[in-house]
Amino acid sequence: QTKSNSKLCGEFKMKILILLFLSLLVESSFGGANPQKLQTYVTFYGFVDNSPPSADIAYPHSEYPQTIHNEASGTGTYQDPITFATDKSELAIGTRVYVSYLKKYFIMEDDCTECDHDWSKKGKYHIDLWAGGKANSGQKLIDCEDSLTLNGDTSVIINPPGDYTVDTTPLFNAQTGACYQLN
């Protein structure tokens, strides 16, 4: 009877391990384990007002495996979130957020001087979302960024699940100069 109990105990442990593995697999496929709403000031930046003007980011995947891109980019899906910048003490490098008014996912891959100041001096949440653009995007890109910035704080979801509605329309289309239209 002792062998029978140990066999049952071993089978039970194996089932528990399998369930734990499957739950981790589901979590990694569909988002964070603990989604949270956060009120934050949301701004935008792009190629022409990045410092220096480029698509360079502070935390490229080649040096930070928790990120996805080697330069600012993304389509806004969970699998390919758009780059965002903030203070790394505010939100960790590689943190995903979902911005519902844009219907897009973003990932923390860059630093933002103004965000650093807001966080360290005022304790104010501030994220800067990559809008895109190229060297010749000029004032059209800046105007687009301004039109997408809402007055006051915006609710975003940190560590979101991967099944929210997504609109992959670019925030700024560098080919046409078209800006994403808010509903």
**What's the pLDDT band for 88 if we cut at 50, 70, 90?**
very high
What is the distance between the alpha carbons of residues 42 and 142, in angstroms, rounded to a whole number? Answer: 15
Write out the H or E segment, with its range, that includes residue 51: none
Question: What was the pLDDT predicted at 24?
Answer: 40
pTM beyond 0.95: the answer is: no
Integer Rg of the chain from CA = 20
Residue with tokens 């991967």: 162
Q: Residue 12 in contact with residue 5, Cβ under 8 Å?
A: no
Q: Per DSSP, what are the bridge partners of residue 158?
A: 36, 97
Question: What was the pLDDT predicted at 5?
Answer: 57
Question: What was the pLDDT predicted at 183?
Answer: 79
Q: What is the pLDDT of residues 150-167, one digit of tens each?
A: 988 999 999 999 999 999
The pair of structure tokens assigned to 96 is 């995903």
What is the distance between the alpha carbons of residues 12 and 150, in angstroms, rounded to a whole number? Answer: 53
Q: What is the pLDDT of residues 135-144, one digit of tens each?
A: 999 999 999 9
Residue with tokens 């301004």: 146
Whether the pLDDT of residue 13 is over 90: the answer is no
Torsion of CA 82, 86, 91, 94, to 10 degrees: 40
Write out the H or E segment, with its range, that includes residue 42: strand 36-46
